[in-house]
A and B are shown apart, each in its own frame.
Chain A
Amino acid sequence: MSDDLLIVENLKKHFPIKRGIFSKTVGAVYAVDGISFSIPRGSTLSLVGESGSGKTTAGRSLLRLVEPTSGTITFDGINVCQLDRKDLRALRKRVQIIFQDPFGSLNPRMTVYSVLAEAMKAHGLGDRNSRRARCFELLELVGLPPEAADRYPHEFSGGQRQRIGIARALAVEPDLIVADEPVSALDVSVQAQILNLLKDLQERLGLTYLFIGHDLSVIRHISTTVAVMYLGRIVEIAPVEQLFNNPIHPYTKALLSAVPKNDPERNLQRTVLTGDVPSPIEPPSGCHFHPRCPDAVPDCALVGANLVEYSKGHHVACNRYVPGDTGERTPTQGTGIATNQ
């Protein structure tokens, strides 16, 4: 398993809900509820899901920007959950994050140079001169002119700011980049530029990405492996081609079918899911997806679904999927499902 840069096992993050003058814990938001995955070096794993699925919380737990409730995170052999402050800082040099909002994630009072230099300074990299040189190198890497160094964030458009965010992440030469919806706030023509840039950088620098997104066509373009999340759990995980060509879980199918297609002549035939994503405070019993699932049987409300292997690297968490079948749904008695934990 030395090929995997990052291994996440049974990661959970529950936010307690406190009420009353004694701040008694009355419940929890089950934001991430036991997810496991691993990312081989140089590849991209995407977490995809709707709002409230826990994808962002999962991404932030990896850097311990939120403290995980339980589970283990192993980064290049290091147990991330047990690091003290000093070692955690060293870890963050190797794991960087790019945020969604290019407007909110840059300090408006700092020039681009100071933004980039601060990242290097924080990790004790270089001296004044070498940092300045490195700054120009980074700007070139992300496709910005050298003049950009002495300008302020407000002078740039959304796409250019996202390039600055990427340059900042690259400043400390990380191995893993967590990209949290990096193109969601951008227009399509600019989105294409940033996606190409991320792919180029991965090739040139051998980066590993954890990509968080909700736009399935973007996910298809950027990923090696895709994990579909629903209410804090992974419902299906597979190599990108597998997932898009042969989705097994009813939620994955519905998600794919819900995306409007760029073809006016295609007739509209889709499974429209009824209802909203339930609250992660009181997730539905059994399989979280059962109240909205077109294939649900009564047992789905009683028994949770564990991930089982469908084919190599392709796992699905659905009680109605029986290992060994061809993806055709057959009625099951619901209880006799093998677990992989």
Chain B
Amino acid sequence: MNNNGAPILQIKNLKTYFKTDQGLAKAVDDVSFDLHAGKTLSVVGESGCGKSVTALSVMGLVPEPPGVKAGGQILFEGRDLLTMPEKELRAIRGNDISMIFQEPMTSMNPVFRVGGQLSAAIRLHRGLNKTDARQEAIRLLDQVGIPAPEQRVDDYPHQLSGGMLQRVMIALALACNPKVLIADEPTTALDVTIQAQILELLRELQAERGMTILLITHDLGVVAENADEVVVMYAGKKVEQAPVAELFKNPRHPYTQGLFASLPSLEKTLERLHVIEGNVPAATQFPDGCRFNNRCPYVQSRCKSDLPPYEAIAGTAHGVACWEHNALAALDPAESGVHSP
């Protein structure tokens, strides 16, 4: 990982909880990681692991109530976004940090033309006049690869396909030249051939602008091809973090190993898939101790009572939150039967 210079965005011990009828849901519970300029960090996990809430917390978009900022810091260039007055946050949100969402179809206002929605953001953040903002909107649409942008700018969202709308969303997010782009499952709602186009576009734009990307996804293939660094989340906790090549070669947490092993392969036909038994627990009912203990094949008594701390593995850029990771690493991977790289 590139460590020269301070990280552009630091998430420190972030705790975002929700008050629900079933009790307190610890959606994000003591999660820390750093984003370095120009790199892509991917947060990966299954539904309910807290990856989207992490992204929304950075943007200050968690609704309160029911959301509760229960602690931690989010430092953008040294300033804490969590304690910042709304007015200052507004100056950063959209300008320096912007976000694209999972569903392009529901993220745009259906009754306004896409060009109008784009130029509204441009006028608000960059103070351009109406005509200039329209020109800028056309230029941005062109940049994200929309054919005939002069005509598309007057289309309504329903007139565009999902892939085209996601391009508009990207144009919207790029309108103010953000330093950090948060992409929350940007291609999940799209077909694979369109997904390939959008991911390629994001890589090009990143190379052009030196943008930092926080990529939230559940798709390990997307992670493998786009991330520099990966954070694996489970049940509101960071369970593992490593540079992408290291994580795929040598996953250390039983959950990460199980996740890799349960993927069907495109290259070979397997008789049976590896299975992680059970289900992801609800956020109000996380088990005591390690939150993975009720599904973990290597569970020990300590795992059921004490929460394993996240710790770096000596001499590597790799870290893991598991009591047994040293004992597991000593096992022959073939013998453990879980991960077959």
Knowing A195-B273, A259-B221, the reply to whether A51 touches B191 (Cβ < 8 A) is: yes
Is residue A29 within 8 Å, beta carbon to beta carbon, of the partner chain? no
- A276 — which chain B residues lie within 8 A by C-beta? 161, 163-164, 194
* Contact B224–A221 (Cβ < 8 Å): no
* Contact A264–B193 (Cβ < 8 Å): no
* Contact B224–A216 (Cβ < 8 Å): no
- A157 — which chain B residues lie within 8 A by C-beta? 279-280
- A193 — which chain B residues lie within 8 A by C-beta? 275, 277
* Contact B218–A188 (Cβ < 8 Å): yes
What is the size category of the interface that chain B forms with chain A? 35 or more
Q: State A253–B27 Cα separation when bound (angstroms).
A: 41
* Contact B248–A187 (Cβ < 8 Å): no
Knowing A221-B269, A262-B263, the reply to whether A190 touches B192 (Cβ < 8 A) is: no
Contact of A265 among B46, B196, B245, B273 (CB under 8 A): B245
Knowing A51-B191, A260-B222, the reply to whether A216 touches B266 (Cβ < 8 A) is: yes
* Contact B221–A220 (Cβ < 8 Å): no
Which residue of A has the minimal Cβ distance to B47?
A: A187
Contact of A259 among B164, B192, B245 (CB under 8 A): B192
Knowing A157-B280, A192-B276, A272-B197, the reply to whether A50 touches B263 (Cβ < 8 A) is: no
- A89 — which chain B residues lie within 8 A by C-beta? none
Which residue of A has the minimal Cβ distance to B203?
A: A268
Q: Mark B261-275, 1 if CB is under 8 A from A, else 0.
A: 011111001101111
Closest Cβ–Cβ distance, residue B147 to chain A (whole Å): 8
Q: Mark A234-272, 1 if CB is under 8 A from B, else 0.
A: 000000110010000000001111111111111010101
Contact of B195 among A216, A244, A258 (CB under 8 A): A258
Closest Cβ–Cβ distance, residue B88 to chain A (whole Å): 38
- A241 — which chain B residues lie within 8 A by C-beta? 269
* Contact B192–A262 (Cβ < 8 Å): no
* Contact B263–A188 (Cβ < 8 Å): yes
* Contact A188–B266 (Cβ < 8 Å): no
Is residue A160 within 8 Å, beta carbon to beta carbon, of the partner chain? yes
* Contact B224–A263 (Cβ < 8 Å): yes
- B244 — which chain A residues lie within 8 A by C-beta? 264
- B277 — which chain A residues lie within 8 A by C-beta? 193
Q: Mark A128-163, 1 if CB is under 8 A from B, else 0.
A: 000000000000000000000000000001111000
Interface residues in B225-262 by Cβ distance below 8 A to A read: 225, 227, 244-245, 248, 258-260, 262
Is residue A91 within 8 Å, beta carbon to beta carbon, of the partner chain? no
* Contact A262–B260 (Cβ < 8 Å): yes
Is residue B311 within 8 Å, beta carbon to beta carbon, of the partner chain? no
Contact of A188 among B46, B194, B195, B224 (CB under 8 A): B46
Q: State A110–B47 Cα separation when bound (angstroms).
A: 26
Closest Cβ–Cβ distance, residue B341 to chain A (whole Å): 9
Q: State A187–B195 Cα separation when bound (angstroms).
A: 19
Contact of A217 among B194, B245, B264, B276 (CB under 8 A): B264
Is residue A199 within 8 Å, beta carbon to beta carbon, of the partner chain? yes
Which residue of A has the minimal Cβ distance to B274?
A: A192
Q: State A157–B192 Cα separation when bound (angstroms).
A: 27
Contact of B46 among A187, A195, A256, A260 (CB under 8 A): A187
Central interface residue in A215, A240, A272, by most chain B CB within 10 Å: A272
* Contact B258–A189 (Cβ < 8 Å): yes
Is residue A196 within 8 Å, beta carbon to beta carbon, of the partner chain? yes
Closest Cβ–Cβ distance, residue A272 to chain B (whole Å): 5
Closest Cβ–Cβ distance, residue A133 to chain B (whole Å): 27
Contact of B266 among A159, A187, A220, A254 (CB under 8 A): A220
Contact of A272 among B161, B200, B222, B264 (CB under 8 A): B200
What is the size category of the interface that chain A forms with chain B? 35 or more
Is residue B219 within 8 Å, beta carbon to beta carbon, of the partner chain? yes
- A218 — which chain B residues lie within 8 A by C-beta? 264
Q: Mark A203-239, 1 if CB is under 8 A from B, else 0.
A: 0000000000011111011000000000000000000
Q: State A215–B221 Cα separation when bound (angstroms).
A: 12
Contact of B248 among A159, A196, A220, A263 (CB under 8 A): A263
Which residue of B has the minimal Cβ distance to A188?
A: B262
* Contact B270–A260 (Cβ < 8 Å): no
* Contact A159–B218 (Cβ < 8 Å): no
Is residue B220 within 8 Å, beta carbon to beta carbon, of the partner chain? yes
Q: Mark B104-126, 1 if CB is under 8 A from A, else 0.
A: 00000000000000000000000
* Contact B218–A258 (Cβ < 8 Å): no
Is residue A119 within 8 Å, beta carbon to beta carbon, of the partner chain? no
Is residue A72 within 8 Å, beta carbon to beta carbon, of the partner chain? no
Q: State A217–B191 Cα separation when bound (angstroms).
A: 14
Central interface residue in A50, A192, A241, A263, by most chain B CB within 10 Å: A192
Knowing A187-B280, A190-B279, the reply to whether A255 touches B193 (Cβ < 8 A) is: yes
Closest Cβ–Cβ distance, residue B204 to chain A (whole Å): 11
Interface residues in B146-203 by Cβ distance below 8 A to A read: 161-164, 191-197, 199-200
* Contact A159–B264 (Cβ < 8 Å): no
Closest Cβ–Cβ distance, residue A247 to chain B (whole Å): 12
- B200 — which chain A residues lie within 8 A by C-beta? 272
Closest Cβ–Cβ distance, residue A156 to chain B (whole Å): 9
Closest Cβ–Cβ distance, residue B264 to chain A (whole Å): 4
* Contact A189–B264 (Cβ < 8 Å): no
Interface residues in A173-192 by Cβ distance below 8 A to B read: 187-192
Known: A187-B47, A189-B275. 10 other contacts (CB 8 A): A188-B218, A196-B273, A216-B192, A217-B264, A240-B269, A259-B266, A260-B199, A261-B225, A273-B193, A273-B196
What are 11 A-B contacts with C-beta separation under 8 Å?
A157-B280, A217-B264, A220-B269, A221-B270, A258-B192, A258-B195, A259-B192, A261-B225, A262-B220, A263-B224, A273-B193
Residues of B at the A interface (CB closer than 8 Å) are: 46-47, 161-164, 191-197, 199-200, 218-222, 224-225, 227, 244-245, 248, 258-260, 262-266, 269-270, 272-277, 279-280
Pairs A-B, 7 closest by C-beta atoms = A260-B221, A192-B262, A50-B191, A187-B46, A221-B264, A192-B273, A189-B276
